[in-house]
Amino acid sequence: MDIASLQAFVAVADSGSFSVAAERLFLTQPAVSKRISALEAELGVRLFDRLGRRVLVTEAGGTLLPRARRILAELDDSRRALADLSGQVAGRLSVATSHHVGLHRLPPVLRAYTASYPQVQLDLRFMASEAACLAVAGGDVELAIVTLPLAAEAPLALQTIWTDRLVLVAHPGHPLARLKRVSPFRLVEHAAILPEHGTFTRELIERCFEPLGIRLRVAFTTNFLETIKMMVSIGLGWSLLPRTMLDAQLAVLELEGIAPTRALGLVAHAGHTPSNAARALLGLLAPGEGGGPAEPEPWRGY
């Protein structure tokens, strides 16, 4: 079974598009179609149904997909292990990160990394933290630097690098801003602007209020914290935002009895051998650097 054809198959399955898969693989669309056709001919099954512009994985394709991922992940792991015998820090390093971490935490780290290891081809991908964890688990990226899930699940290993305190904020003219201290029970009287359901940050916030029996009145949701900040700054509601985002547009309020803190850090595949390029980045992201916890925290595996 041809490796290039498997790579094309996984790319089309992930993107749902031959044209997008071609862009990711730096190929033409006809070249991707040819590889898929060759793989279908070799296996004697149809892997995709082409319905107009939609590309859907067939039952046979769904059976092959997890096995193809494992084959490609094992191949990448073998290549890394062999390349690392030389001790050289070079090659391609794929890293996923969220927009917030990429904007507010990573720039000095990436600046130092690219200056120290110019032979590394850094493949940096921006995506939601939840999607980044799935990308690590599936072998699509080697590392993710994101908001960490509340618990590690196989096959992921987690390491906290920064602790991110979330503080109550509102527009300076908001009714809550007139209070010296805000009771959590007062928050239900006003609209909240929070991350969407299913995100690690939303789960953290809801867990903080659950013991009090408080169900927040959420008016707007978005996964982009910069958008939440903008909406709060024009008076559309209150929110809980990281201290790194505070400025004169926001009134910072003291919330009684609740201090949500999320963990930002590294996600890796527990069963994969890290490349030399990944090890070098891990060294720059050692806990305690850049606002991380003072005491190193061990990797939380499964």
pLDDT in tens, 13-51: 988 999 989 988 889 999 999 999 999 999 999 999 988
The answer to whether residue 227 scores a pLDDT higher than 90 is yes
Percentage with pLDDT > 70 across the chain: 93
DSSP code at position 272: S
Q: Do domains 3-80 and 89-302 have the same CATH topology?
A: no
Average pLDDT, the chain: 89
Listed by start position, the domains of the chain span: 3-80, 89-302
The answer to whether residue 285 scores a pLDDT higher than 90 is no
Please work out, in degrees rounded to the nearest 5, the angle formed at the alpha carbon of residue 182 by the alpha carbons of 181 and 188.
175
The answer to whether residue 302 scores a pLDDT higher than 50 is no
Contacts of 4 (CB under 8 A, 6+ apart): 35
**Residue 133: in which H helix or E strand, if any?**
helix 129-137
The dotted CATH code for 89-302 is: 3.40.190.290
- How far apart are alpha carbons 131 and 141 in whole angstroms? 11
Domain 3-80: top CATH class: mainly alpha
Give the per-residue pLDDT at 301.
43
Give the per-residue pLDDT at 24.
84
Contacts of 39 (CB under 8 A, 6+ apart): 1, 2, 5, 6, 8, 9, 47
- Mean pLDDT for 271-298 is 67
Percentage with pLDDT > 90 across the chain: 71
Global confidence as pTM: 0.71
Nearest Cα to Cα of residue 126 among 94, 93, 99: 99
181 token code pair: 């201290």
